[in-house]
A and B are shown apart, each in its own frame.
Chain A
Amino acid sequence: MGTQNFLWNVAKKYFTFGIIGLTISDRYASILPVRGSSMSPTFNPHGGSLTDDYVLVEKLCLEKYKFSLGDVVVFRSPSDYKEKHIKRITALPGDWIRTPHSNDILTIPEGHCWVVGDNSASSLDSRSFGPIPLGLVQGRATHIVWPPQRMGKLDRKIELEGLGF
């Protein structure tokens, strides 16, 4: 009878902490690992190293969905809702963009954005699946928290090549 009570108490504590953790991670910020080298050298500069980078992703931006050029965002993949990707926004609704390898001009429709990985050579991004609706964005990465030698705030920078007019 004593152990049952004890186990019940432990379960209750875990449940409470779980719910609190879930709420904080949904509404405020969470820490996520970055896999792959599509964002080198910003994340995982030596692709294939033993540890992944961890970033702090803040969710406060999801109230207003107001992003700026150069923000690094986490979004659900449009071709598979279970996967999450992390890329940089290079164009906002209403901007014009020149698609590489073809001379088309593309307008970003209302409510969408254009995301590109920093390592354009090996990055699956808007150049393959087109502009993504802002509703798919799950958060904005603001800081690298691991490894310690690269801990710090992320800059908003964009490659000038490939931008529209």
Chain B
Amino acid sequence: MGKWKTLAKAAIELAAIVAKFICLYHVTDSYLFSPTIVSGPSMLPTLNMTGDVILAEYVSHRLGKVGPGDVVLVRSPENPRKTISKRIVGMEGDTVTYLVDPNFSLRSRTIMVPKGHVWIQGDNMYASKDSRHYGPIPYGLILGKVFCR
């Protein structure tokens, strides 16, 4: 009888340790930083087409400290299950001038970024689907800032 009790106690302790580790992993993964693999041609030459491992941190965007020039991970406005990486070109209130479709013409448009939104563009303008197609995205879609490759 005593043996079962000690066994049960050891099992509960082990389960508690595993649970604590899972929670610690979740908190680090969502609130601190985590490595991710990104792939695709839209951020050439900064990021590779066939996959790059990057470190993204999740602290600055909660403090509002991301700005133009940062490469960020955002949730795609067309498919919330997809995460895409682009560079911020303008914050709310900025005027952004951009080439509408550099593959076909040199036409450019100027737009002002509305409150609470940001304008993102891929470094490779010729093969990138970004704010030039779906407009400025709300700041709330930003997941984290890429700081290391």
Query: B6-14, B42-50, B72-80, B95-103: which one contacts chain A?
Result: B72-80
The one of B20, B23, B75, B138 that contacts A132, using a Cβ cutoff of 8 Å: B138
Residue of A nearest to B118 (CB): A81
The one of B30, B115, B137 that contacts A79, using a Cβ cutoff of 8 Å: B115
Rounded to whole angstroms, the CA-CA distance of A52 and B76 in the bound complex is 34
Residues of B within 8 A of A133 (CB): 75, 77, 80, 137-138, 141
Query: A16-24, A31-39, A98-106, A118-126: which one contacts chain B?
Result: A16-24
Number of B residues contacting the other chain (C-beta, 8 Å)?
28
Residues of B within 8 A of A76 (CB): 138, 140
Mostly helix, strand, loop or mixed at chain A's interface? mixed
Residues of B within 8 A of A112 (CB): 77
CB atoms of A65 and B22 under 8 A apart = no
Q: Which of A79-123 contact B (CB under 8 A)?
A: 79-81, 109-112
Count: A-B pairs, CB below 8 Å: 72
Q: Is B116 part of the binding interface, using a Cβ–Cβ cutoff of 8 Å?
A: yes
Q: Is B81 part of the binding interface, using a Cβ–Cβ cutoff of 8 Å?
A: yes
Number of A residues contacting the other chain (C-beta, 8 Å)?
25
Whole-angstrom distance between the Cβ of A26 and the nearest chain B Cβ: 6
Partner-A contacts on B (CB < 8 A): 19-20, 22-24, 26-27, 30-31, 74-81, 114-117, 134, 137-142
Partner-B contacts on A (CB < 8 A): 16, 19-20, 22-23, 26-27, 64-65, 76-81, 109-112, 132-137
